[in-house]
Amino acid sequence: MDVQATTPMDPRVLDRMLPYLTAYYGNPHSRTHAYGWESEAAMEKARKQVADLIGADSREIIFTSGATEANNMAIKGVARFYKSRKKHIITTQTEHKCVLDSCRSLETEGFQVTYLPVKKNGLVDLKDLEAAFQPDTSLVSVMTVNNEIGVKQPVQDIGEICRERKVFFHTDAAQAIGKIPMDVNSMKIDLMSISGHKIYGPKGVGAIYVRRRPRVRLEPLQSGGGQERGLRSGTVPTPLAVGLGAACEVSQQEMEYDHKRISQLAERLVTKIMNEIPDVVMNGDKEHRYPGCINLSFAYVEGESLLMALKDVALSSGSACTSASLEPSYVLRAIGADEDLAHSSIRFGIGRFTTEEEVDYTVQKCIQHVKRLREMSPLWEMVQDSGESVC
């Protein structure tokens, strides 16, 4: 139930990878023998599979170690390449930590960054975005689906606004790729970050889409042999690239079925919990969202206590990348959630392999422990006596 953190590998993906872990072990950049040619052919097939999922040309796909590297490449690469003329970047306060940290890093280099607030539903206000542009804005970076609250930003509208102003648009689509339809051309996306292990592929591999026309230029983050069009030097790990390609192909085939099934399971989970427990708040917009990411706040219950009570269920109180912090989620703070409610939030993830039985078990345990923890809470007792509620 924590598929936003990572997903199990689809057996079909593993089947495609296995030959390249054993028999076909050549370096895909070796041009003088069959071992290299076989690996190169597999790598290029995988590149096309990734491109087909997002409506891109295969020459626009660069393999990376994951979405964190892709986000760093997009933000730092564009900013540094165009820094002689443009030194302003726009992003939002609810981006993934690697995007925010990349922007903070650029601020130390003299760049100006505008961190847009979001509305209470988690969506960016397009008027705020339009007002934030400056003559020297080089890049706008807004994630497609939020990894904590599941809201889906109006990516197509943002892409059109950026294209009108001749500003590059980057989106972190790690939580969206393979789950909702994405087309880089109709959505006017110039750079896109992709992760393998969020779409039932292997860990340690991802990709960045970099538009060829109108051409987007990046300054590479690392130097070396000039692989991947000189943007990402280093030997491409063929088995991982094959796995990412296979995961993209399977996701394209299963997307419609997965979305329908996940929507039904999500509705089952939310309805059962809301019917049995009062004072539960769903964080984020109810309509513009990916159904497989549900973030609920249970008033008068400490989120960490509930997680400990539900130790036989894989859940989280937010992003795995910031879960070591005891601070309430910065995403929930950005949407204006009360600090107590932010501390009482749990993220439920539903994916391709989640079963109805797992959902029902999670719901039953959640109801049981929320009621138990509330009975131990003096605040809950006071609220019951007064008849008031925070929700």
Q: Between β-strands 280-282 and 206-210, what pairing exists: parallel, antiparallel or unpaired?
A: unpaired
Backbone torsion region of residue 385, taken as left when φ is above 0, otherwise alpha when ψ lies between -120 and 50, otherwise beta: alpha
Sign of CA dihedral 56, 58, 61, 67: positive
Identified catalytic residue from 98, 103, 293, 321: 321
Is 127 exposed, middle or buried (CB count within 10 Å of its CB: 0-12, 13-18, 19+)? Answer: exposed
Catalytic residue status for 248 = no
Contact, 68 vs 74, CB < 8 A? Answer: no
Report the distance separating Cα 79 and Cα 104, nearest Å: 12
d(CA 351, CA 247): 14
Of 312, 274, 273, 267, which is closest to residue 292 (Cα–Cα)? Answer: 267
- Residue 348 bridge partners (DSSP): 294
Give the containing element (helix H, strand E) for 281: strand 280-282
* Integer Cα distance of 196 and 231 in angstroms: 19
* Burial (Cβ within 10 Å: 0-12, 13-18, ≥19) of residue 350: buried
122: its two tokens: 């988690």
Give CA–CA dist 20/197, Å, rounded. 18
Active site residues: 321
